[in-house]
């Protein structure tokens, strides 16, 4: 009964999100044909706004599981809601082995898992250095990876979105799903996780205009960019 309830909530939630997005914004979905119909998938995406996870998940043609910051699960009501839409908590900025085990189990069950490797929003100011968790999962599971680039959400303001809709000045949003890829074989065993993280994030950056690529732009082309530790904001 619990699983059926969660499934119904997931379907209703994604339906409402897609309807609202199509009504209140000019949203364009690119690369939907790149998504395999079955099998494990590790989805990685840039992160500008709180609306990114619901948008990416709702327009994705398969049911997905999402790794979300643990702060969202403190309140009992929000914890129930997020778990109902297949989200599970992760303690950011530290090695959360429990979350990594959950992620590995999801992929071993040939499901889709969505992760935002930056670990926080960049507010449209360019991608931030990614945390290594997504690369660790990819290396351990050997799952196909789909990069996702989303733009325009940083322009959304909950206070003005309805007014912009009334005057027909809806913000332009783009979600682009890239082609699936696997991590290349790295012969140099030193810093495999860091190099894999950088490689994965540059595949996401390739789907974005240069001004949104941030630390994964052309200025750092020959550098390895990854976050080791940071303080919460």
CATH number of the domain where residue 60 is located: 3.40.1130.10
User: Burial, 120: exposed, middle or buried (Cβ in 10 Å; 0-12, 13-18, 19+)?
Assistant: middle
Lowest mean pLDDT of 53-57, 174-178, 190-194, name the range. Answer: 190-194
Indicate the SS3 state at residue 129: coil
Domain presence at residue 123: yes
- pLDDT digit string, tens, across residues 62-92: 999 999 999 999 999 999 999 999 999 998 8
Domain count along the chain: 1
Domain presence at residue 232: no
Domain presence at residue 233: no
- pLDDT digit string, tens, across residues 34-45: 999 999 999 999
Can you tell me the mean pLDDT for 135-147? 96
Rounded distance between C-alpha atoms, residue 65 and residue 125, angstroms: 27
pLDDT tops 70 at residue 229: no
Domain presence at residue 208: yes
204 closest CA partner among 145, 122, 152: 145
pLDDT tops 70 at residue 168: yes
84 closest CA partner among 15, 1, 8, 16: 8
Domain presence at residue 186: yes
Mean pLDDT of the chain: 92
Can you tell me the mean pLDDT for 7-15? 93
Domain presence at residue 229: no
Domain presence at residue 106: yes
* Segments forming the whole domain that contains residue 17: 2-220
Domain presence at residue 230: no
């Amino acid at each position: 009964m619990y699983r059926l309830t969660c499934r119904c909530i997931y379907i209703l939630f994604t339906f409402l999100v897609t309807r609202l997005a199509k009504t209140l914004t000019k949203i364009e979905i690119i690369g939907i044909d790149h998504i395999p119909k079955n099998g494990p998938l590790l989805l990685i995406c840039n992160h500008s706004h709180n609306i990114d996870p619901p948008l990416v998940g709702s327009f994705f043609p398969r049911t997905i599981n999402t790794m979300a910051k643990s702060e969202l699960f403190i309140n009992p009501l929000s914890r129930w809601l997020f778990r109902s839409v297949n989200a599970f908590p992760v303690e950011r900025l530290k090695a959360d082995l429990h979350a990594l085990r959950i992620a590995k189990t999801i992929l071993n069950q040939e499901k889709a898992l969505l992760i935002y490797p930056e670990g926080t929003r960049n507010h449209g100011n360019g991608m931030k250095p990614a945390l290594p968790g997504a690369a660790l999962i990819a290396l351990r599971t050997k799952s196909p990876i789909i990069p996702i680039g989303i733009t325009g959400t940083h322009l959304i303001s909950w206070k003005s979105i309805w007014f912009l809709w009334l005057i027909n000045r809806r913000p332009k949003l783009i979600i682009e799903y890239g082609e699936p890829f696997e991590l290349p074989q790295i012969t140099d065993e030193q810093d495999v996780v860091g190099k894999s993280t950088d490689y994965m994030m540059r595949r996401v950056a390739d789907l974005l205009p240069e001004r949104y690529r941030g630390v994964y732009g052309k200025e750092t082309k020959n550098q390895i960019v990854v976050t080791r530790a940071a303080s919460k904001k």
